[in-house]
């Protein structure tokens, strides 16, 4: 299989006149592609057996007023070597049209709809031109990520109604769920089409509480925006803040101390632990199996109290700073963490034994909510959900960050793609996380934990950062503006990618199984609704 340089050579041989090589972005090869030829080039990169590039991120940048152009950037991950390759194209002056790649690459569907909503750029040939982010109460012509749209703009409310797709026929019924829910979850609208009991279609309608996070990043100082990154998704504080910090550190050429890199890895593992424990319990609870739910809740609470004792925050806020970490841990605190986990691990192992011996639980989980490997790959599904469906992708191994180059990590992989497989991935990762923390305690070096950033990056330079959060791959693209401010910050939480895939996992199942399937995906409404 080809690496990025080989892929570039292959693309230039196939589409030489349409492609020009550009300066790499933090080591990621970059090609400038003529706009009208981009669908063919992307399709070739996606489907050629020697390349099999997965679309990992698609974003737009408004370069005005400095330059009279918009830029579209397509980040691909090559299948075998996991190298990145970046395709870029420009929309000059008043050009607002670009060719859609969605007919060729399913994973582009939401990205292109988001760009249309937020920038007013139109993906010509897209099969679904309905609004995605801007609900029907947004007035026409309001595109928040354009540079001439102020962050404090107050919009008048418009009237409109979302056009759900409908299946017609005798005995077909629609069942709406949400957007207001009985629990404390965020707003999300699910509309099922059923004939009898099996689900024939599920449509998602999210983005009810769009917060304008990417707009809020603009004009902030690069070193001052960490608290905003921490609040992108409240259950992934350490993951999002780390991804942001890494991007800024690349821009400002900051060398993070080695001890800080180990501590960052430790905090990320603690975040993975308490979330996985909570999800295992919640999956059992949705089968009416209350015992493991109670015990997982107890163990999750132990980890969160541990977080509070050693960092001052149950959700690990304030641990990451540009240049390193905001706190150091003593040897006694590290020993305390390991001692706590030494008590939790045998409890969890015993709970596993009870779960796998329960035939009723196995019957509910196996073959429920199957997401096939092919569907997962077509939609670029990642993280826990992807690895449960055979997608062998883990940023800790493929693009090591923090201390992971020195801490080899096993990527847990299953191929069944059902609820049980997704639970198994979490359970195996709990054991792997405990092993990693013991390894960190043994290996962590002495030394400083913070390098103070100095200087100002050149306006227009940008960086890509990736972190394997507990849900999956988190990506940040940060572009420097004038005087050390942020020109553009593009965020991709794994939930944005994985939400559309749930529409395929539920097909043929019954509506009472949907809460179980939904919980096994365990996606963030907030991280999706930026």
pLDDT tens digit sequence for 158-199: 988 888 998 888 889 999 998 888 777 788 999 999 998 999
Residues 207-239 pLDDT 10s = 988 889 999 999 899 999 999 999 999 899 999
**Domain 4-124 part of CATH 2.30.42.10:** no
Q: Are 322 and 223 in contact (CB under 8 A)?
A: yes
Interior angle at CA 513, CA 508 and CA 518, nearest 5: 100
Give the pLDDT confidence of 84-138 residue by residue, as tens digits. 999 999 999 889 999 999 999 999 999 999 999 999 999 999 999 999 999 888 9
Residue 60, SS3 per DSSP? strand
Phi-psi region of 72 (alpha: psi -120 to 50; beta: other; left: phi over 0): beta
Task: Tell me the C-alpha distance between 459 and 249, whole Å.
Answer: 15
pLDDT at 520 over 80: yes
Q: In 10 A of CB 18, how many CB atoms?
A: 19
What the block records as the tokens of 67 is 């330059």
pLDDT tens-digit map of 236-272: 999 999 999 999 999 999 999 999 999 999 999 999 9
Q: What is the pLDDT of residue 1?
A: 59
SS (H, E, C) 85-148: EEEEEEEECCCCEEECCCCCCHHHHHHHHHHHHHHCCEEECCCCCCCCCCCCCCCCCCCCCCCC
Longest dimension (CA), the chain: 71
Spatial separation of the C-alpha atoms in residues 397 and 411, rounded to whole Å:
8
Per residue in 287-313, pLDDT tens? 999 999 999 999 999 999 999 999 999
The H or E element containing residue 393 is none
DSSP string, 145-213: TSTTS-TTPPPPPP----------STTEEEEEE-SS-SSSPPP-EEEEEEESSBEEEEEEE--TT---H
Mean per-residue pLDDT, 495-513: 96
Q: What is the pLDDT of residue 512?
A: 92
Name the burial class of residue 13, with classes exposed (0-12), middle (13-18) and buried (19+) by CB atoms within 10 angstroms of its CB. exposed
Report CA-CA distances (Å) from 388 to 107, 369, 481: 18, 12, 40
How do residues 348-403 score in pLDDT, each as one tens digit?
999 999 999 999 999 999 999 999 999 999 999 999 999 999 999 999 999 999 99
Average pLDDT of the chain to the nearest whole number: 94
The dihedral sign for the CA sequence 502, 471, 225, 218: negative
Quick check: do 4-124 and 213-528 share a fold? no
pLDDT tens digit sequence for 400-442: 999 999 998 899 999 999 999 999 999 999 999 999 999 999 9
pLDDT at 247: 97
Say which CATH topology domain 213-528 has.
Cytochrome-c3 Hydrogenase; chain B (1.10.645)
Q: Kindly list the domain boundaries of the chain, sorted by start residue.
A: 4-124, 213-528
Q: Which burial class, exposed, middle or buried, applies to 337 when counting CB atoms under 10 A from its CB (0-12, 13-18, 19+)?
A: buried
């Amino acid at each position: 299989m080809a690496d990025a340089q080989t892929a570039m050579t292959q693309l230039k041989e196939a589409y030489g006149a349409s492609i020009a090589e550009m300066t790499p972005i933090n080591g990621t090869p970059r090609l400038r592609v003529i706009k009208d030829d981009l669908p063919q080039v992307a399709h070739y990169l996606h489907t050629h057996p020697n390349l099999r590039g997965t679309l990992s991120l698609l974003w737009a940048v408004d370069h005005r007023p400095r330059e009279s152009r918009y830029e579209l950037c397509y980040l691909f991950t090559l299948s075998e070597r996991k190298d990145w390759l970046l395709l870029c194209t420009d929309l000059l002056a008043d050009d607002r049209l670009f060719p859609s790649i969605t007919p060729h690459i399913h994973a582009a569907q939401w990205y292109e709809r988001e760009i249309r909503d937020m920038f007013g750029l139109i993906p010509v040939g897209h099969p679904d031109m309905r609004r995605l982010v801007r609900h029907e109460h947004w007035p026409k012509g309001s595109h928040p990520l354009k540079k001439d749209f102020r962050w404090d703009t107050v919009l008048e409310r418009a009237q409109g109604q979302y056009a759900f797709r409908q299946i017609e026929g005798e005995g077909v019924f629609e069942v709406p769920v949400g957007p207001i829910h009985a629990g404390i979850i965020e707003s999300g609208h699910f509309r099922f089409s059923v004939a009898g009991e099996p689900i024939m279609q599920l449509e998602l309608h999210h983005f009810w509480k769009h917060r304008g996070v990417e707009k809020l990043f603009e004009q902030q100082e690069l070193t001052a925006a960490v608290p905003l990154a921490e609040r992108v998704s409240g259950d992934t504080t350490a993951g999002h803040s780390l991804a942001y910090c890494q991007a800024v550190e690349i821009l400002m050429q900051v060398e993070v101390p080695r001890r800080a890199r180990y501590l960052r890895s430790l905090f990320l593992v603690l975040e993975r632990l308490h979330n996985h424990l909570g999800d295992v319990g919640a999956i059992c609870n949705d089968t009416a199996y209350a015992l493991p739910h109670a015990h997982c809740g107890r163990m999750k609470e132990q980890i969160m109290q541990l977080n509070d004792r050693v960092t001052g925050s149950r959700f690990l806020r304030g641990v990451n700073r540009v240049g390193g970490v905001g706190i150091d841990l003593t040897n006694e605190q590290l020993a305390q963490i390991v001692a706590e986990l030494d008590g939790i691990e045998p409890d969890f192992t015993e709970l596993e034994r009870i779960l796998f011996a329960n035939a009723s639980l196995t019957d509910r989980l196996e073959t429920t909510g199957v997401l096939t490997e092919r569907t997962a790959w077509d939609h670029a599904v990642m993280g826990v959900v992807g690895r449960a469906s055979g997608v062998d992708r883990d940023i800790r191994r493929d693009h090591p960050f923090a201390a992971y180059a020195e801490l080899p990590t096993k990527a847990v992989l299953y191929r069944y793609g059902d609820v049980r497989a997704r639970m198994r991935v979490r359970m195996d990762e709990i054991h792997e996380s405990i092993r990693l923390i013991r390894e960190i305690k043994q290996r962590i070096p002495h030394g400083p934990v913070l390098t103070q950033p100095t200087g100002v990056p050149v306006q227009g330079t940008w960086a890509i950062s990736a972190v394997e959060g507990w849900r999956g791959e988190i990506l940040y693209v940060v572009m420097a503006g004038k005087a050390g401010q942020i020109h553009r910050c593009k965020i991709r939480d794994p939930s944005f990618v994985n939400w559309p895939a749930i529409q395929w996992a539920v097909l043929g199942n019954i509506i009472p199984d949907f809460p179980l399937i939904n919980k096994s995906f365990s996606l963030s409404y907030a991280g999706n609704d930026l």
